[in-house]
Amino acid sequence: MACNNLLTKLIPKFLIPRLTIYTMKGLGEIIVIENDPTLLDAYILRAKKQKKHVDFYKNQPELLSLLRLYPKNTKVYVNEELAHSVQKLQKIGYRKIFIISHNPNQYANTDGIQYVSKELNF
């Protein structure tokens, strides 16, 4: 990945100490961006109970640093308060975007964006 970002096939030795190297056990099949710690804990427990591999993030910048590692068909659930991040996700190419809302029926689903209840069923 670093080589692609630098548009090179080999990394010069003097740049190696400046590169960030990520190690990941495995990417989740679902991403949840939730800034409420109580709901985040509830979603973590629900995902474990449903035996789903879900990656949780508290904010958009935390996710964006790793987003390039996820396939574009990954489901992304975003808290309604963080919905401003949805346009960026769409520009990058994600099409399975769900906005988590207390009252999803008050919104109309749009192209690639669906509104779902805070009682998530992954």
For residue 12, being part of any structural domain is answered with: no
Question: Does position 98 have pLDDT exceeding 80, yes or no?
Answer: yes
| Cβ-count burial 35-58 (b if 16+ within 10 Å, e if not) | eeeeebeebeebbeeeeeebbbbb
Arithmetic mean of pLDDT, 84-113: 87
The pLDDT of residue 2: 55
Does position 77 have pLDDT exceeding 90, yes or no? yes
Tell me which DSSP letter residue 68 carries: G
- pTM summary value: 0.75
Residue 56: CATH number of its domain: 3.40.50.2300
Alpha-helical regions (H) of the chain: 2-6, 37-49, 60-64, 86-92
pLDDT tens profile 11-56: 788 888 887 766 556 788 999 999 999 999 999 999 999 999 999 9
Q: Is the pLDDT of residue 75 over 80?
A: yes
Q: Which of 33, 7, 26 is nearest to 70 (CA)?
A: 26
Residue 4 lies in a domain: no
Mean pLDDT of 48-75: 88
**Confidence at residue 55, expressed as pLDDT on a 0 to 100 scale:** 93
Q: List helix spans (H) across 7-94.
A: 37-49, 60-64, 86-92
Task: Please compute the mean of the pLDDT values over residues 102-116 and round it to a whole number.
Answer: 85
Q: Which residues contact 14 (CB under 8 A, 6 or more apart)?
A: none
Cα–Cα distance measured from residue 78 to residue 61, given in angstroms and rounded to the nearest whole number: 13
The domain of 94 spans 26-117
* Residue 29, both tokens: 């099949």
Residue 19 lies in a domain: no
The count of structural domains within the chain is 1
Give the residue-averaged pLDDT of 2-7.
59
